[in-house]
Chain A
Amino acid sequence: MTRTAGWRRTTEVDEVQADEVQAPEPVLDLRSVSVRYLTSSGLNTAVTDVSIKVDPGEFVSIVGRSGCGKSTLLHVAAGLIRPAAGKVSYLGQEWTGLHPDVGYVTQKDTLLPWCTVLDNIALPLKLHGVRRAERRGVAGDMAVSLGLGEYLKHFPSQLSGGMRQRAQLGRTLVTRPKLLLMDEPFGALDAYLRMRMQELLVSILREHPVSTVFVTHDLGEAITLSDRVVALSGAPGRLALDRVIETFAQRDDLMAIRGTPEFSTYQSQLWETISSEGGQK
């Protein structure tokens, strides 16, 4: 995919797609997706006509204000919600429902409180019928690579928030998914832990490369981690921009990135878009 710096407004998306005929098959392809909910007050539209492609190995962040449908879109990508309109494809195949190659991490702690760290990380392998000895070996290796090697027999209640989030990440990556969906995974952590977890995520994805869709409120987090940032605005949420972040390809020092003029430019551009579109100020 040819990435060009600058804004890609929704009106430009079709033109860009025309240049992508020779591009590799996207891991995730959301085409004109709309989501509607039936509530007591009637039919509510959460997201309307959103198209997003995620290429192999690409890290895409979705940002936007509360209620713009970021998490809803991720639910669609995970196969947990069927869109009212539009199509979802994984690696070129149209798909409805849950896909076995998709891993999903939420902000909420969903580790099983009655299972140890090792058993929690090994859980998806167990559900896929992997034998006990094998799955414990694989899960143990994953835990070690996440710095949890000393805490294999600990229960989630004995771990800090950051460690629990690492265990969740390990549980998601242990099956080697082709697409990783992360819904504000570090939203509940303090600033220090959040930065540590961002650094860990970068190094983990370097070790286990996987296409990632990352939902966050934090514009700085999106800019420092992503190859592309997609912004939704308004209610119902619409695709407001699709921005390639090409300056920070290495991402060795996330703190240093935040001090660069490019970072400030990206941040102010994103801020301007989010605050100016969608009606709410």
Chain B
Amino acid sequence: MTTEITETVEAAIPSDTQAALRQFGRRRRLRRAYVWLWRIVLLVAVLVTWQLSSGRWFPAFVMSSPTQVWDKLTDWVGNGYILDNLAVTLKETFIGFAVGTSVGAAAGFLIGLSRFASDVLSPFINALYAVPKIMLGPLFVVWFGIDLTMKAVLSGLFVVFIVFYNIWTGVQEVDKDLVEMFRVMGGGRWAILRGVYVPSALSWLFNSLRLAFPVALIGATVGELVASSEGLGYVAENAATQADTAGVFVAIIAVTVVAVAMDQLIVLVQRRVNTRSGKTEGGRLVL
């Protein structure tokens, strides 16, 4: 239907206005090209400076050059070392992300529904949130060992509070006029829950997921740094103990690529959902 409307609108635009619109489109594309050009120039400048400074201003073992990092990357990709460890980190991250999101969303939703429960539990939740999670790593080693469980739990712990606070706020700040409207229309408690609270909480959930995934990744890699024999955190730590800064950079690049890719995936899903629920820019109609 949107395409039909667009076509109808385009057909109604006079030719001189269409020419102006085409010129506006060209300018916008040109500006976008300039932005990308400057991004590439900046990246090349940083890489060249880095390449020139390595071994000249800094010893190579302190700061490996980009070419050394590239060599290490191709070497580790070739022999499967980085991909095997990436798979381990991803597994820990996804389990922690899924469990942390589920627990945080369920707790945030249920506690948010009850003002009494919120009042009773909020000081405890705030205190738990204030605990530096990294400090729990050694404790988790004692409780869960150094295998996947420890890293997944640590990762989930990083996630759970972000999702919890978002859903909690979402439920508490639900539009009371919508609730009142449901009541006037004869909606019962269950209908209000399903019709107003759940959809409202879902929009907050999506926003929290963008924050939660990188944090889940941090939790998993921190767990690997604390105690592990596999995963990207282990790769970075192992390379650092051998003064192999190229290896550390390769691990950092792998984590960054995963975080950016996942962020883009969440944005894509969010955009799809928003499009389906009408939260799109443009296409606004007038009476």
* Secondary structure call for the B interface: loop
Contact A157 B278 (CB under 8 A): yes
A153 neighbours in B (Cβ, 8 Å): 1
Could you tell me how many residues of chain A have their Cβ less than 8 Å away from some Cβ of chain B?
A: 35
Query: Which A144-187 residues have C-beta < 8 A from chain B?
Result: 151, 153-163, 171, 175
- Which of A10-18, A41-49, A100-108, A228-236 sits within the interface? A100-108
Chain B: minimal CB distance from A200 (Å): 10
Contact B277 A113 (CB under 8 A): yes
Chain A: minimal CB distance from B156 (Å): 29
Q: Confirm or deny: A80 has a beta carbon within 8 angstroms of a beta carbon on chain B.
A: yes
Contact A98 B278 (CB under 8 A): no
- Which of A60-68, A123-131, A256-264 sits within the interface? A123-131
> How many inter-chain residue pairs (CB < 8 Å) link A and B?
74
Contact A114 B199 (CB under 8 A): yes
Contact B287 A116 (CB under 8 A): no
Contact A113 B279 (CB under 8 A): yes
Q: Confirm or deny: A110 has a beta carbon within 8 angstroms of a beta carbon on chain B.
A: yes
Chain A: minimal CB distance from B176 (Å): 10
A108 neighbours in B (Cβ, 8 Å): 177
B183 neighbours in A (Cβ, 8 Å): 80, 98
Partner of B277, one of A104, A155, A171: A155
Contact B283 A104 (CB under 8 A): no
With both beta carbons as reference points, the residue of chain A lying nearest to B203 in the complex is identified as: A114
Contact A102 B285 (CB under 8 A): no
Contact B199 A155 (CB under 8 A): no
Contact A98 B285 (CB under 8 A): no
The residues of A with any CB-CB pair to B shorter than 8 Å are 78-80, 98, 100, 102-104, 106, 108, 110, 112-114, 116, 123-124, 127-128, 151, 153-163, 171, 175, 193, 196
The residues of B with any CB-CB pair to A shorter than 8 Å are 1, 175, 177-178, 180-187, 191, 195-196, 199, 277-280, 283-287
